[in-house]
Structure 1
């Protein structure tokens, strides 16, 4: 699918064609023209390239986008148009997937611990594939499967020693012995409950896992459990390799990213594909492999711009006034920041106030261990940070909460009111957690498409 054909399919969303493939230039001009203190763009051309990269690396693995990562309608709609299925973790996310045209068979309800009311609601929506990782959850799903339905239950296992930046094992996943016990319990329950089957196995190696071997070992464990399930009378056909995939660009925004070894996504994909060939020998030729990537798709395609609307230069009150040592500028007392800087009063630190903060897109600083990589612009031109005077600085968001601080105690150039901060690769777990705290609206996201010859 070309950019033009994709733009045509998204025509009701009125995507902007950005000139010269430069979304930053477009955003800065848009903010100045519309007098905006913050805006974001979702570049569907970048989203398309990520899907194409996935298909090259893992052609046999059908990606089911994890909606929770960024449920913006443009991203969900575009991924559907590009052939992705969906990983939903709530009835609302199931409805969102269905609203863009996704089929029921393209959705997995991949929340391993669910309220009974949500299980019933998802069944009402037509979806019948659920994950579980405990005895109580298995029983709960059986008890809430409607008459006439056959639940397709997927056992989520716990990978170990994956080397991921963020490990999810503290919350979800059945250990080796627990998985075996749950399969045997499922066999016993199936003798009196004919409304479910063990359809397959899933796992999540954690976010930012650079090792293909972690996926290989998890697939091997799924294959071992498949053999046991077959002995118990089940016929699993599904392997869900989860998420955890991250782009090189988004990696730079993670705290302590220096500790993550370099990796090659194509090599990871090749290792997974090779192991799935082995798994198919046990699962059968009709085995289906899916995944639950979120940030791999959502990260790179969103860029944020926010404008500085307030500044406070905090001078050192303990510093002796150097005015007596300086040529007199005039006879008046220094009342402006400019005068005080001319007279060489020591700057202790600088506080800035911008249009986007912790209650908006920057919530990922708290919830997703992100350290945003900020670039600074004056009008349309990037500041040369090597030649700029720098000071310890704090950047605050627009709310009245003092904890609404997106940068704390860092050396950055001295900025002016009206300057811009640009953050790239900012789509994962940003818009998803944004609120309207203090009555401040969530920053709008504009849809853009690159020109065909970009």
Structure 2
């Protein structure tokens, strides 16, 4: 049986769209103020939807969780990237959030894309993106997927084993290959080096094999790990790649034209990580095109999730916390708690008296599985049954990772725009 599609609705605020014209036009300005405008718009949309619900008479579908996605936030993050890293061509990591509206906006901002499968490639191509702006950055994708990518016109792809080189010679000799290194990613939440990439010495071997096979190796790739926290990691990994670039040229093997610095960039550490990368790129020849694969950086802050409290037991005591059960959990819209190693603390979606007493709560999801724990312990003002909570930074590894276990439906998305530039690119009427 086909899974139900996530439904979407589109909203915008002309009042929000009219503020700060300089920011709208250039993507500059005070990012904190811009984020506050986005938050205010999302809160208004959430509140208006919830105010229409009569908890005593409504249908059960009316109180399902929902997300508010702000394309303005994505627009500003893309502009922020261009300002901080003008030399680095951003290939949005589609796996992070493959929503068509996200892809369409970034495509219209002339972005490139990092895909891990043929369905992702096809989703990007549907928005008119030229195949030359796509990289299949999954070295362990199947041979048939790589052949299909070639048939779609995608040439750039990463490799990290001898077998992949032999496969390329046999099945897709026209590919433009990048050897993927495994840098130190010990300070990232998701260590991709455990699954992908090769050592420096192994990479040298691969270059000799590729040369013998007559393959077109155009560059080097690496990834410092998903949600990285070491601001020096981009510098160190780039310098490792530089050494391999020099080795390939000094050995007469290849003169590279591409360096892929991967992803791992986060919103709160972006400036120092960008500075680290820019410092390293001073050692990379200008003749080499530099690309990257940001995912969460582009979309995480753009989405907020609203969900209702199903049940609460003030007489219960669960390891010193009052148990709350909400209608979203780690199997559904809070999948990033598991899939992305995130800690997400809810907030109460209503005005509170600053002097009101707070309580410690343990937050559970709606399924019958006791693994469905959202937060082990958090502090909130007093919560009642049927209250609504919301979670911020819900754009990364939530929508694509959500399941419908126990028949729990995934959240609808209500789209808003806090940026005139984003609305214009999408053809949205600011007064919708």
- Which of 234, 243, 254 is the aligned partner of 1:234? 254
Paired with 2:186 and 2:257, the residues of 1 have a C-alpha distance of 24
1:381 to 2:348 alignment: no
Structure 1 segment 127-166 matched on structure 2, within 5 A = 127-145=154-172, 150-160=174-184, 163-166=187-190
- Which of 382, 388, 394 is the aligned partner of 1:420? 388
Residue aligning to 2:95? 68
Shift of 1:95: 0.7
Paired with 2:217 and 2:353, the residues of 1 have a C-alpha distance of 58
Residue aligning to 2:426? none
**Corresponding residue SS for 2:228:** coil
Structure 2 unmatched runs, 5+: 1-7, 17-36, 54-61, 422-429
1:390 to 2:369 alignment: no
- Which of 45, 51, 71 is the aligned partner of 1:44? 71
Paired with 2:191 and 2:352, the residues of 1 have a C-alpha distance of 37
Residue aligning to 1:298? 299
Distance of aligned partners of 1:382 and 1:356 in 2 relative to their CA distance in 1, 3 Å threshold? farther
TM-score, length of structure 1 as denominator length: 0.78
1:355 to 2:323 alignment: no
1:77 to 2:73 alignment: no
1:176 to 2:144 alignment: no
**Corresponding residue SS for 1:357:** coil
1:247 to 2:258 alignment: no
Structure 1 segment 49-448 matched on structure 2, within 5 A = 49-145=76-172, 150-160=174-184, 163-190=187-214, 196-230=215-249, 231-248=251-268, 263=269, 265-280=270-285, 285-315=286-316, 350-377=322-349, 380-382=350-352, 384=354, 387-391=356-360, 393-448=361-416
**Corresponding residue SS for 1:225:** helix
**Corresponding residue SS for 1:314:** coil
Paired with 2:376 and 2:274, the residues of 1 have a C-alpha distance of 38
Paired with 1:100 and 1:39, the residues of 2 have a C-alpha distance of 26
Shift of 1:243: 0.4
Distance of aligned partners of 1:200 and 1:383 in 2 relative to their CA distance in 1, 3 Å threshold? farther
Residue aligning to 1:15? 10
**Corresponding residue SS for 1:150:** coil
Deviates more, 1:365-374 or 1:56-65: 365-374
Shift of 1:118: 1.1
Deviates more, 1:152-161 or 1:61-70: 152-161
- Spell out, residue by residue over 1:150-188, the C-alpha distance to the aligned partner (whole angstroms, 9 max, x if none): 110110011126643443211111111111111111112
TM-score, length of structure 2 as denominator length: 0.82
Residue aligning to 2:23? none
Residue aligning to 1:3? none
1:29 to 2:30 alignment: no
Shift of 1:376: 1.1
Paired with 1:93 and 1:142, the residues of 2 have a C-alpha distance of 24
Shift of 1:315: 4.7
Distance of aligned partners of 1:65 and 1:394 in 2 relative to their CA distance in 1, 3 Å threshold? same
Shift of 1:305: 0.8
Would the aligned equivalents of 1:31 and 1:37 in 2 still touch at CA under 8 Å? no
Would the aligned equivalents of 2:84 and 2:271 in 1 still touch at CA under 8 Å? yes
Shift of 1:349: 5.2
- Spell out, residue by residue over 1:380-436, the C-alpha distance to the aligned partner (whole angstroms, 9 max, x if none): 42464x632424x33222223232221235454431122111111111111110112
Q: Which has the larger Rg? A: 1
Aligned residues: 382
**Corresponding residue SS for 1:361:** coil
Structure 1 unmatched runs, 5+: 1-12, 191-195, 249-262, 317-345
CA RMSD of aligned residues (A): 2.5
Distance of aligned partners of 1:90 and 1:382 in 2 relative to their CA distance in 1, 3 Å threshold? farther
Distance of aligned partners of 1:403 and 1:160 in 2 relative to their CA distance in 1, 3 Å threshold? closer
Distance of aligned partners of 1:352 and 1:180 in 2 relative to their CA distance in 1, 3 Å threshold? same
Deviates more, 1:112-121 or 1:101-110: 112-121
Shift of 1:135: 1.1
**Corresponding residue SS for 1:422:** strand
Distance of aligned partners of 1:69 and 1:451 in 2 relative to their CA distance in 1, 3 Å threshold? closer
Paired with 1:164 and 1:352, the residues of 2 have a C-alpha distance of 31
